[in-house]
Amino acid sequence: MIRQGNEERYHPTQKPLEVMKWVITLCPKSETILDPFMGSGTTGVAAIQMGRKFIGIEREPKYFDIACQRIEQAVAQPRLFEDVRPKQEQTSLI
């Protein structure tokens, strides 16, 4: 799984972007995604591309810098398709 695809690899245990997007879809009500082991920032890129907020923690300065750069690029990239699912709201108590 990790070796498939043609994504550039920045970290020895880097996951594919599409896998991280799939994982985020398993938490549909989550507005903010936390990754306490951020590595190269793939989860952050996926979160930003999906319109979520992101908090990442990484202890290795080398990977922290790589993650910040990748996430900044994701923020700068405009979203071509907006999420058009209607938001569910409670309209009354009755």
Rounded Cα–Cα distance for residues 78 and 67 (Å): 19
pLDDT at 1: 46
Residue 66 lies inside a defined structural domain of this protein: yes
Count structural domains, the chain.
Answer: 1
Which residues constitute the domain of residue 62? 21-29+42-76
- State residue 43's pLDDT score: 95
- pTM greater than 0.75: no
What is the percent of the chain with per-residue pLDDT over 90, rounded to a whole number? 63
Let me know if residue 54 belongs to a domain: yes
- Inform me whether the pLDDT recorded for 85 exceeds 80: no
Residue 14 resides in a domain: no
What pLDDT, in 10s, does the model give residues 48-59? 999 999 999 999
Whole-number average pLDDT of the chain: 83
Euclidean distance between CA atoms 94 and 37, whole angstroms = 45
61 lies in some domain? yes
